[in-house]
Amino acid sequence: MEQEDHELLLPLVEEENICLPLPVNVVSKYWNVELPMAEAIETAKKYAGFNGSILIEGIESAERHGLMCKIVHSSLNELKKIIDSGIPPIVILPGIPEVTQHASIITGYNDEEKTILHYIQTGNQEGEMQEGAIPEDIFQQEWSEEGKLLIIIAPQDILSSIKLENDSFDKSNRLCFESERQNILKNYSEALNSLNQAIELNPNNSTALHLLGTIMNEQKSSECIKFYEKCLEINNRSYLTYNGLGNFYLKTNNFEKAENCYTKAIEINPKRSAKIYKNRAYIREKQNKNNDAKDDLKSYLKYFPKAPDRGIIEQAIREI
């Protein structure tokens, strides 16, 4: 485990599976722990048809093979301290367009250049790990959209040696990841139970509040509003919460509120999702804001150039 300045050298890993996500596999190998891919492949059979990553499965695999895990809402200062302790943290960030979220390993930082370094899966010509640098302020903005969630996987003695700001809420955060697994498995009552437990342990867990609001939204329950609004009181940069609230108001034909929520989400991150522009265009057309609707449809195609409905949207732009 070499460390130079504020950078960690991680192994170059290509193997991953929905139940052994790349970040978990890389960090485990960093600690010289080999997680069996065969085990992950077998576990993945119960998630047939699911295309994303199930982080809790990877975390539990790491724990079964001798590592420990903590999941916390963190801060930039704490992130840097963790790196300087020789631990590569995993953070949850907004996904690329039309992907909700993704987990990324932070390999270091550069205070002089004000950048945060990310692990890149592809190595250079010498087969060495590459890093992607992102400006610190942009990283902060994007990380805050996900409540600054951070996952630490390390041997017990090392993990026990560091003091985390929100260590006491680890169980509450873990229940959020558990609820997502149950949701994928369509065990909705179990998912709901996990989130209720998470909020009981930490009433200010913005992640749990958002996820609970999302389940209520899917059930077309107006109860989702109070959970979404409580989440936004704690984290007013939660893009997904504004988007979810907008979706609920759209379904209930409350166009003005839906437009306001979509607009706030877009102000937070205008490039995160193309679909939000199409939704707002529909609302604006219903309110006879035709020029604004046309602009939104153009933005939809800008951020989703290979949209399957491109022809229909182009025709709509001409006709509005």
Q: What is the pLDDT along the chain (320 residues), one digit of tens a residue?
A: 444 579 999 999 988 999 999 999 999 999 999 999 999 999 999 999 898 899 999 999 999 999 999 999 999 999 999 999 999 999 999 976 555 678 999 999 999 999 999 998 654 444 444 568 999 999 999 999 999 999 999 999 999 999 998 888 999 999 999 999 999 999 999 999 999 999 999 999 999 999 999 999 999 999 999 999 999 999 999 999 999 999 999 999 999 999 999 999 999 999 999 999 999 999 999 999 999 999 999 999 999 999 999 999 999 999 98
Where a domain ends, among 165, 200, 227?
165
Number of separate domains in the chain: 2
**14 and 153 fall within a common domain:** yes
Is residue 199 within 8 A of residue 209, CB to CB? The reply is: yes
Residue 214 and residue 183: Cα distance in Å, rounded? 11
Tell me: do 112 and 197 sit in the same domain.
Answer: no
33 backbone dihedrals φ, ψ, rounded to 5°: -115, 120
CA atoms of 43 and 60, how far apart (whole Å): 11
pLDDT at 122: 59
- What pLDDT is stored for residue 125 in this prediction? 43
Same domain, 147 and 178: no
**CATH number of the CATH domain containing 145:** 3.90.70.10
Tell me the C-alpha distance between 40 and 74, whole Å: 29
Please tell me the predicted confidence (pLDDT) of residue 138: 95
User: CATH number for the domain including 216?
Assistant: 1.25.40.10
CB 69 within 8 A of CB 59: yes
Residues 61 and 97 in one domain: yes
Give the domain extent around 118.
3-165
Judgement on whether residues 186 and 72 belong to the same structural domain of the protein? no
Q: What predicted TM-score, i.e. pTM, was given to this entire model?
A: 0.92
Q: Domain boundary residue among 146, 165, 184? A: 165
